[in-house]
Amino acid sequence: MLIIFLGVLSQWVAWRLQLPAIVLMSIAGLLIGPFLGIVNPEASFGELFGPLVSLAVAIILFEGSLNLNFKEIRGFNKPVWRIVTLGAFIAWIAGSLAAHYMAGLSWAVAFVIGGLFIVTGPTVILPLLRQAKLKTRPAALLKWEGIIVDPFGALLALFAFQFVLFAEGEATAAAFGLFFLASIFATVIGAGAGLGLGWMFERGQIPEFLKSPMVFGVVLLTFVLSDMVMHETGLLAVTAMGLVMANMNITSINDMRHFKENISVLLISSVFLMLTASLSMDVLLEIFNWAIISFVLTMLFLVRPLSIWLSTIGTDLSWQEKTLVGWIAPRGIVALTVSGYFANVLFDAGYEDAELLTALTFALVFSTVVAHGFTITWLGRKLGLTSSQEPGVVIIGATRFTTTLAKALSDLGKNVLLVDPSWGRLSKARQLGIETYVGDILSEHTEYEVELTPYETMIVASETDSYNALVVNNFVPEMGRVNLYQTAIHQGDPTDFHASLSGRILFGDEFNIHALDEKFGEGYAVRVTKLTSQFTYEDYKEKWPSGTIPLFIVRVQGKIEFFSTDKSLEPKDGDTIVSFTTPDRDSDRIQERLEIKRSKQGPQTKE
């Protein structure tokens, strides 16, 4: 209970304070484990500890690979494949050299652990990407590397271990053959499971309410069957399964993604706490060994940048992208769990220096998580690779009113995008210099052609209520219902639309998109009013004509807050109110300006 609760609490606190969640989870685990001694998961779970962690990692890795659609890397697949192949090989060799010369490990142990440390993994990369809001290319590079290399890191360590045993005469060439056959078997069984499930989904062989549970069960079955043939090949099987399903264009794939993402967030939180809470004080104190510190510094500042810069020679990556990707490489759950396995088997094989692996791995994991967690957003901004320093607004549906609203936001320096399937309806917006996109926001093409990361808020204002509800429900998992607005229902009884089917209603239940457009015929226009200590919100309300529609407030800090039916806003001095006002407001605006000007000049005396 404590592990699950603190894991989710760490995620929530990280979201509230805009901090790296993985760092808070590590700190929480250390506090309840080695520091305070409240919980020791390894002792509590006993023999179940290892299997539980392994199954959780399998689900997390499958969920990550379920997002690997090849369309995402169309146009820059060359650097992706270079990084996951040549880059991984360079990182293996350079990491092994660092482990031998810096950490003082024997060649055999260094060779094995060097292969393992090429992993980054979705358990640490995906939370950082959600936090950093990077542009499409660097985000895709980091995500694909993390998910693809994760199982290969474990396999590479296994290959290195088999090679060490073979070199010392403790294993035969047949062991190598078994290794490669087991890897092929894992790939085939994973791909087969993905194809089979996808085929059954598309032909209606599995009902909707059973799809996510069925996937959940098959993922675990695939992982265990493969892992029974050879340890650590299960990760390869679930990655192959997710990759195949992600590229089958399954109609219900988004529902599965949402389910798996929710499960993964819970598992990442819990497993990371379990692993950190299971560490002993002896291991933590051993981290401060100078040999371990020098190894970690070498991995951070030499091995990682070297592998990225060398592997991407001849690609179209900019130096900014190479710099960011060459710095960000946090290690996570897979490194911790797999290193524990190899520490035991290497020690049993007579390599006494293998007992250092647990401390070495945790030092690298914690250092990279902290260093990269706190710097990814800052470095992304410095290199110009973040989508936007200030979250913007995307508006769905081009009408006279939404075009005017978009223009008002743009004039205030806000990032705004107007989306509509009609080129003609967007013509006025283009003339006004507003960023537009011609297409259906629900189209699969739009998902890959439009980068929505910079837009924190969505306003859905098309002329069809059912379409508005569909858009809102489609984007709830990505943006959250609190950031989704829509204009009032105008067809039928508004109470027929349950609150769960709509976004937050803008401006008022009587102001549907047709009513707002009709206001133009009455001469309505957008007005911007700055509140000051001389002209307060109370003064504004006194001069507020009865037909005025308040649209949104721009706070002193720059944050936008829209007027909606579910929340009462209180503007303060320094805020800017943007409203949709009647024509007779013009004379009042002139009077406001005169009053503000007089208040600034102070009392005048006659000569």
Question: Does one domain contain both 265 and 244?
Answer: yes
605 confidence band (pLDDT: 50, 70, 90): very low
Question: Does one domain contain both 458 and 550?
Answer: no
Q: Taking residues 324-343, report their average pLDDT.
A: 80
Number of domains the chain is built from: 3
pLDDT at 101: 92
251 confidence band (pLDDT: 50, 70, 90): low
Question: Can you count the helices (H) and strands (E) in the chain?
Answer: 26, 10
* CATH number of the structural domain spanning residue 129: 1.20.1530.20
604 confidence band (pLDDT: 50, 70, 90): very low
* Domain assignment present for 282: yes
Question: Does one domain contain both 489 and 568?
Answer: no
pLDDT at 496: 52
* Domain assignment present for 270: yes
* Domain assignment present for 158: yes
* CATH number of the structural domain spanning residue 451: 3.40.50.720
Question: Does one domain contain both 556 and 505?
Answer: no
Which tens digit of pLDDT belongs to each residue from 469-501? 888 877 876 777 788 888 887 655 555 554 555
Residue 420 lies in domain: 389-512
- 547 pLDDT higher than 90: no
- Residues whose CB falls within 8 Å of the CB of residue 385, separated by 6 or more in sequence, listed in order: 134, 135, 138, 320, 321, 324
Question: Does one domain contain both 290 and 142?
Answer: yes
Q: Note the residue count of the chain.
A: 607
pLDDT at 295: 92
Between 576 and 490, where is the model more confident? 576
Question: Does one domain contain both 417 and 374?
Answer: no
First to last CA, the chain: 81
| One-letter identity of residue 46 | G
Rounded to the nearest integer, the mean pLDDT of the chain is: 79
Question: Does one domain contain both 137 and 247?
Answer: yes
Burial of 388 (0-12, 13-18, 19+ CB in 10 A): middle
Q: Is the pTM of this model over 0.85?
A: no
Q: Taking residues 108-119, report their average pLDDT.
A: 86
Question: Does one domain contain both 242 and 306?
Answer: yes
Q: Taking residues 260-265, report their average pLDDT.
A: 71
Question: Does one domain contain both 488 and 540?
Answer: no
Say which DSSP state 230 is in.
Answer: S
Question: Does one domain contain both 395 and 364?
Answer: no
Residue 109 near residue 343, CB atoms below 8 Å? no
233 confidence band (pLDDT: 50, 70, 90): confident
Question: Does one domain contain both 558 and 487?
Answer: no
Angstrom CA distances, 53 to 8, 45, 294, stand at 17, 11, 30
* Domain assignment present for 517: no
* CATH number of the structural domain spanning residue 590: 3.30.70
Residue 464 phi, psi dihedral angles, 5° rounding: -120, 115
Question: Does one domain contain both 198 and 124?
Answer: yes
Beta bridge pairs of residue 393? 416, 457
Q: 3-state class of 522 per DSSP?
A: coil
Residue 380 near residue 134, CB atoms below 8 Å? yes
Which tens digit of pLDDT belongs to each residue from 179-230? 788 888 988 999 999 899 888 888 878 887 788 788 888 989 999 998 888 8
**Residue after which a domain boundary falls, among 382, 407, 437:** 382
What percentage of the chain carries pLDDT values higher than 90? Answer: 8
Which tens digit of pLDDT belongs to each residue from 268-281? 778 778 878 887 88
Least confident of 130-139, 381-390, 482-491, 583-592: 583-592
d(CA 37, CA 39): 6
Angstrom CA distances, 202 to 19, 94, 493, stand at 41, 46, 36
* Domain assignment present for 426: yes
- Residues whose CB falls within 8 Å of the CB of residue 166, separated by 6 or more in sequence, listed in order: 172, 173, 175, 176
267 confidence band (pLDDT: 50, 70, 90): confident
Angstrom CA distances, 515 to 487, 496, 518, stand at 10, 20, 5
Q: Taking residues 303-316, report their average pLDDT.
A: 90
Which tens digit of pLDDT belongs to each residue from 274-309? 878 887 888 788 888 888 899 999 999 999 999 999
Which tens digit of pLDDT belongs to each residue from 438-480? 888 877 666 656 777 777 888 888 888 888 888 887 787 677 7
Angstrom CA distances, 2 to 29, 40, 471, stand at 10, 11, 38
Strand pairing report for 416-420 and 392-396: parallel
pLDDT at 587: 47
d(CA 25, CA 28): 5
d(CA 98, CA 90): 12
Q: 3-state class of 551 per DSSP?
A: strand
Least confident of 27-36, 464-473, 548-557, 578-587: 578-587
Least confident of 86-95, 264-273, 353-362, 383-392: 383-392
Whose structure tokens read 């901004």? 381
**Residue after which a domain boundary falls, among 460, 481, 512:** 512
**Residue after which a domain boundary falls, among 512, 544, 574:** 512
